């Protein structure tokens, strides 16, 4: 009987300890780790991060981004702008509570999100690829560029493509109208003749 009581008591203590550690608020937490996900998937993750920040009023989110072994110039900077823009403008998270860290390079693009109490030491980055091993592509490898609507300080517009005048654009009807009524496109500039009807 004594042995049964000791066993039950031990079991209860283990359950109590497990409950206490899970029920107590975690002071520091790696909230998420992600790879090269689509912007739609990233927005869902950002919504989750924002709700976690709401649940932890004094916490600071550290978002570590690692470039891939093959990366575009400025890609991490642009991704940070996308993440910051969404969290601050769309979700209302204070910019003071967000810390973005360019954490170096790994085999592929990845990121980590940590939620830590204010004043806590930032998480340590763990890059696995040396900078000299990274192949930098030309500017523009950011897969989020046209979706996120933010850039380093300004709005990202879809990359303009040159138009030699042989392909219609969204401005074509307006330009045809201006041509037909003899209007000018800009001061001192007339439309090219060639739309003779």
Helical spans, DSSP H, in 86-171? 145-148
Helical spans, DSSP H, in 39-141? 39-55, 75-85
User: What is the pLDDT confidence band of residue 162, given thresholds at 50, 70 and 90?
Assistant: very low
CA 32 to chain centroid: 13
Classify domain 23-148 by CATH number. 3.30.1330.60
pLDDT at 84: 94
pLDDT at 10: 52
More confident: 192 or 162 = 192
Domain boundary assignment for the chain = 23-148, 163-197
User: What is the pLDDT confidence band of residue 23, given thresholds at 50, 70 and 90?
Assistant: very low
Query: Residue 133 is encoded by which pair of tokens?
Result: 């091993």
For the residues of 16-36, what is the DSSP string, one character each? HHHHHHHHSPPSSEEEEEE-S
- Host H or E run for residue 99: strand 98-105
Q: Please write the tens of the pLDDT for every residue from 25-66.
A: 444 589 999 999 989 999 999 999 999 999 999 999 999 999
pLDDT at 181: 60
Q: Please write the tens of the pLDDT for every residue from 100-152.
A: 999 999 999 999 999 999 888 999 999 999 999 999 887 655 566 667 765 44
Cβ pair 68, 105 in contact under 8 A: yes
Beta-carbon contacts of 175 under 8 Å, excluding residues fewer than 6 positions away, are: 185, 191
pLDDT at 151: 44
pLDDT at 156: 35
Q: Please write the tens of the pLDDT for every residue from 71-80.
A: 888 889 989 9
User: What is the pLDDT confidence band of residue 197, given thresholds at 50, 70 and 90?
Assistant: very low
Secondary structure letter of residue 95 according to DSSP: G
**SS3 at position 64:** strand
With a cut of 60, say whether residue 187 has pLDDT above it. Answer: no
């Amino acid at each position: 009987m004594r042995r049964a009581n000791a066993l039950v008591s031990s079991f209860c203590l283990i359950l109590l300890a497990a409950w206490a550690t899970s029920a107590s608020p975690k002071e520091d937490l790696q909230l998420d780790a992600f790879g090269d996900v689509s912007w739609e998937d990233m927005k869902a993750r950002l919504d989750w991060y924002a709700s976690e920040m709401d649940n932890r009023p004094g916490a600071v989110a550290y978002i570590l981004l690692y470039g891939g072994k093959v990366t575009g110039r400025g890609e991490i900077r642009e991704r940070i702008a996308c993440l910051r823009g969404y969290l601050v403008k769309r979700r209302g998270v204070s910019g003071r509570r967000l810390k973005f860290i360019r954490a170096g390079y790994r085999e592929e693009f990845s990121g980590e999100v940590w939620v830590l109490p204010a004043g806590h030491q930032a998480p340590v980055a763990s890059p696995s690829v040396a900078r000299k091993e990274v192949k930098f592509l030309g500017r523009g490898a950011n897969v989020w560029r046209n979706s996120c609507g933010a850039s380093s300080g300004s709005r990202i517009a879809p990359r303009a493509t040159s138009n030699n005048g042989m392909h219609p654009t969204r401005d074509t009807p307006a330009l045809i109208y201006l041509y037909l009524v003899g209007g000018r496109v800009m001061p001192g500039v007339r439309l090219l003749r060639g739309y003779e009807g």
